[in-house]
Amino acid sequence: RSCSKFHLQRFCIFELKAELNSDKKEKKKEAVKKVIASMTVGKDVSALFPDVVNCMQTDNLELKKLVYLYLMNYAKSQPDMAIMAVNTFVKDCEDPNPLIRALAVRTMGCIRVDKITEYLCEPLRKCLKDEDPYVRKTAAVCVAKLHDINAQLVEDQGFLDTLKDLISDSNPMVVANAVAALSEIAESHPNSNLLDLNPQTINKLLTALNECTEWGQIFILDCLANYTPRDDRESQSICERVTPRLSHANSAVVLSAVKVLMKFMEMLPKDLDYYGTLLKKLAPPLVTLLSAEPELQYVALRNINLIVQRRPEIMKHEMKVFFVKYNDPIYVKLEKLDIMIRLASQANIAQVLAELKEYATEVDVDFVRKAVRAIGRCAIKVEQSAERCVSTLLDLIQTKVNYVVQEAIVVIKDIFRKYPNKYESVIATLCENLDSLDEPEARAAMIWIVGEYAERIDNADELLESFLEGFHDESTQVQLQLLTAIVKLFLKKPTETQELVQQVLSLATQDSDNPDLRDRGYIYWRLLSTDPVAAKEVVLAEKPLISEETDLIEPTLLEELICHIGTLASVYHKPPSAFVEGSRGVQHKRLPCSAGSGESVDSPETSSTAGVSDAPPAVIPSQGDLLGDLLNLDLTPTTTGPPPPAVSTGMQLGAMDLLGGGLDSLIGAGFGAAPAAMPASFGAPGSGGLDDLFDLGSGVGMPMGAYSPPKSVWLQAMKAKGLEISGTFARRAGVIQMEMTLTNKAMSVMTDFAIQFNRNSFGLSPAGPLQVLTPLSPNQSIEVALPLNTSGPVMKMDPLNNLQVAVKNNIDVFYFSCQYPISMLFVEDGKMERQIFLATWKDIPNENESQFQIKDCHLSSDAVSNKLQGSNIFTIAKRTVDGQDMLYLSVKLTNGIWVLAELRIQAGNPNYTISLKCRAPEVSQCVFQSYEAVLKN
């Protein structure tokens, strides 16, 4: 700071001081104005504090307001001097003019100085009961201010009760402000019953709703949305009184009304006439929001995006309104595009495609890319349109616009995945553009295509070789893809490509610092050198299909976001806890349950007729989301539940350090339109090292060994001529064992033991003879462990895990049946890769999903994860959504059946909910029992 500037400021302050102490009122006022002006531009005028406060004693309202403004700014930095103002405040609170009373109480609440707060209580108490509604409505807000400074004081002074009384005030604005203040205070006390919403208060609120200002209506509607009606009739009657708000000119009133209706609609029976009427009423106001100013359009579009995912039927016929206008701001364009894809169906696909083609020639690069990607998504979503989409994409590739070509290649790869052996004729065209690809994702996609269809591309080896030249300059994504593609090529054309594969393997294993790449290289190398047939089975295995809807919001999050319609959460598509600090908004909101007890919210018939699926498909959040939430979890450790084991904290801290600076950018990128623009890239294997850092399962849990039930008596001595067999099953070091205790309760010695199994569901059979070497004397017991394998003949049993056994000895043959815990069959390599898990989860139809409750379990999610891992139930990912931990688990049975699970653990709730998804749903019940058994022991 230069010297002259400093002097100038000193001088100004000196001059102002003189003016402030002038006798002339006008001069004083002008001086205070100058002070405020300096304050605004950031100059420090705190030195004038006493002089300004001296001007406070005036009957000129304008001057008074200026002084108050100054006070609010500087009181905190000069608390001792601020006390000087107290007397004036207290006096002003008694002023005959209600405007001055309100001004005083309003300003006093803004001065966050403890000593002043003490003096505020008495005036505030009076103002809350003032005869003038203007003073009361100001005082109501003041309680919220005071609560923010000193919550305890507000409670002790009984202001909360007075505030509650104001809900019954005769003036609608007082009611609205009281509701707003109470709602905010209640948010920081999630468990208090502050708002105490009951039918009587709801009725009062609904009455005030008709009479208060537009802002007041918003406060009231937002508050109403927190209420859960007792039954569908109450729900309907509230809806009926809220629907008129849909015609309000204020978009926020409309959106808040939509929120209330969307929420309460959940409780209405679907067959009710009113339900249909309500659905029809929702579309027009939502469409009208799109003719508002662009910023509001953006908020509306983000919300419509949620609404469309929850209830596609509302906007089914409104496709046209989402067509992009040339002059729309880019953020509106991108959002509209997103919704267009969501609404695309067989009925409107022609129109949509024509539009998308138009957009692909626009100027904005992001928008064009998204439009190209959208064409690919249409192809995957609406099968009938696939052919047209592919030809549109080919047309676009012909334009040779670099980023269009690259984007098109990325989506064509997905189309190949979805419809194998259908469109491969276009590969030649794609190969022509090889040279123009400079983005990793496009290069990786192209390499994948070449590797996958190596047998149809004559010069596949040349093409891949050309990429190999600059191997070390490529991004990891491309390197990994290139490695895999060349191995695929080798397996398909082993004769000509031996040199190439050796080259890439040595590049990957010897010249690379990237552990992912090295590991994958070594695995291939080992596979190829030991067992080429197995290598073929692994590398060229049939790929799981990709699902049609990408980047859908995960259902529980969607439900929560529906409860937050109109708010920032709905704009960010993130729960409030993700961006709000402290306790506010952390409360987890959920939609109420529908009227009929277990009735599904969605009717299947609409989903089959309309192209737009009605049922909200079960979705695992895309990888980006998972990562984001994991990061969040690390930043704000949950206070509930026992602390995680030391090993895991160490690991998480390490991971945080590694991420270091990247953290902000990750979080930053998560906001705004970015996540929607990022399609889940489950097609690309191993997209970076982050996944592995966060792999919760590996190395974190301490293996505790598989759960094995205690022995029980299988064969009673009475029935088996004195031979008693009790036993159990265990899985030790990957081997299933039948552990038995044979007891001779007869009078004679037993010899010549042998065992045989009947055919059973999983082909269990003894891997060797029953080893009872010494004869069994009377009253003697012997422990035997019989290793089993699963290569025996298969027959479906009922129950599924039933095993019929025959045991022979020198006396007779005895038969018994026993049930083995299915967890014996969970193999060690049952940890699914995350991307495959995501895709598989989406791919398994919803009817294969079954849900169970595990009651009375008191483990933290980390402990659960550890315990399960001991029995080969692997945690793929963990997310925390507002105190609710969600574990995503996978299990593989000996016969190759995968069982995926989502386990929800609510802090403080001993009952866990588990959803199992499996292509063979028959096993679900058994698998669930094992889960329960493992967790409870």
Q: Which is nearer to another protein, 36 or 767 (CB)?
A: 36
In terms of DSSP bridges, do strands 874-881 and 849-854 run parallel, antiparallel, or are they unpaired? unpaired
Minimal distance, residue 555 CB to another protein, in Å: 21
Minimal distance, residue 299 CB to another protein, in Å: 5
Minimal distance, residue 244 CB to another protein, in Å: 4
Tokens found for residue 225: 């949305």
Minimal distance, residue 164 CB to another protein, in Å: 18
Q: Is 893 helix (H, G, I), strand (E, B) or coil?
A: strand
Minimal distance, residue 639 CB to another protein, in Å: 20
CA atoms within 13 A on the CB side of 407: 26
Q: Which is nearer to another protein, 564 or 731 (CB)?
A: 564
Q: Which of 829, 935, 835, 852 is nearest to 901 (CA)?
A: 852
Q: Which is nearer to another protein, 289 or 489 (CB)?
A: 289
d(CA 924, CA 913): 14
Q: Which is nearer to another protein, 583 or 609 (CB)?
A: 583
Tokens found for residue 175: 């009611």
Minimal distance, residue 387 CB to another protein, in Å: 22
Q: Which is nearer to another protein, 301 or 508 (CB)?
A: 301
Minimal distance, residue 191 CB to another protein, in Å: 19
Q: Which is nearer to another protein, 60 or 476 (CB)?
A: 60
Q: Is 438 helix (H, G, I), strand (E, B) or coil?
A: coil
Q: Which is nearer to another protein, 134 or 757 (CB)?
A: 134
Minimal distance, residue 68 CB to another protein, in Å: 8
Alpha helix segments (H runs only) across 610-673: 623-635, 646-659, 662-670
Backbone φ, ψ for residue 747 (5° rounding):
-95, -15
d(CA 69, CA 643): 48
Minimal distance, residue 390 CB to another protein, in Å: 21
Tokens found for residue 169: 């005030």
CA distances from 504 to 476, 512, 518, 520 (A): 14, 11, 11, 11
Q: Which is nearer to another protein, 432 or 537 (CB)?
A: 432
Minimal distance, residue 251 CB to another protein, in Å: 5
Tokens found for residue 380: 């995957």
Q: Which is nearer to another protein, 4 or 170 (CB)?
A: 170
Count CB neighbours of 856 within 10 A.
9
Minimal distance, residue 567 CB to another protein, in Å: 5
Minimal distance, residue 264 CB to another protein, in Å: 16
CA distances from 807 to 355, 763, 778 (A): 73, 18, 18
For residue 879, give the DSSP letter: E
Minimal distance, residue 80 CB to another protein, in Å: 13
Q: Which is nearer to another protein, 167 or 254 (CB)?
A: 254
d(CA 864, CA 88): 62
d(CA 881, CA 746): 61
CA distances from 73 to 10, 40, 58 (A): 20, 10, 20
Q: Which is nearer to another protein, 321 or 749 (CB)?
A: 321
Element (H, E) at 185: helix 172-188
Minimal distance, residue 685 CB to another protein, in Å: 31
In the numeric block, the tokens 């928008």 are attached to: 367
Q: Which is nearer to another protein, 140 or 822 (CB)?
A: 140
Minimal distance, residue 137 CB to another protein, in Å: 6
Q: Which is nearer to another protein, 147 or 878 (CB)?
A: 147
Beta-bridge partners for 730: 737
d(CA 514, CA 476): 8
Element (H, E) at 914: strand 912-918
d(CA 231, CA 593): 10
Contact 602, 629 (CB under 8 A): no
Beta-bridge partners for 488: none
Q: Which is nearer to another protein, 117 or 860 (CB)?
A: 117
For residue 540, give the DSSP letter: T
Q: Which is nearer to another protein, 579 or 816 (CB)?
A: 579
Question: Going by C-beta distance under 8 Å and a sequence separation of 6 or more, which residues neighbour residue 157?
Answer: 121, 125
Backbone φ, ψ for residue 725 (5° rounding):
-120, 125
Task: Classify residue 181 as exposed, middle or buried by CB count within 10 Å of its CB (0-12, 13-18, 19+).
Answer: buried
Q: What is the DSSP string of 440-486?
A: HHHHHHHHHHHHHTGGG-TTHHHHHHHHHTTGGGS-HHHHHHHHHHH
Backbone φ, ψ for residue 877 (5° rounding):
-160, 160
Q: Is 784 helix (H, G, I), strand (E, B) or coil?
A: strand
Q: Which is nearer to another protein, 323 or 814 (CB)?
A: 323
Q: Which is nearer to another protein, 3 or 41 (CB)?
A: 41
For residue 609, give the DSSP letter: H
Minimal distance, residue 36 CB to another protein, in Å: 7
Element (H, E) at 730: strand 723-732
Backbone φ, ψ for residue 326 (5° rounding):
-55, -35
Q: Which is nearer to another protein, 242 or 899 (CB)?
A: 242
Question: Going by C-beta distance under 8 Å and a sequence separation of 6 or more, which residues neighbour residue 905?
Answer: 860, 861, 864, 884, 885, 886, 887, 912
Contact 899, 924 (CB under 8 A): yes
Minimal distance, residue 160 CB to another protein, in Å: 16
Tokens found for residue 370: 């998204």
Minimal distance, residue 378 CB to another protein, in Å: 17
First to last CA, the chain: 71
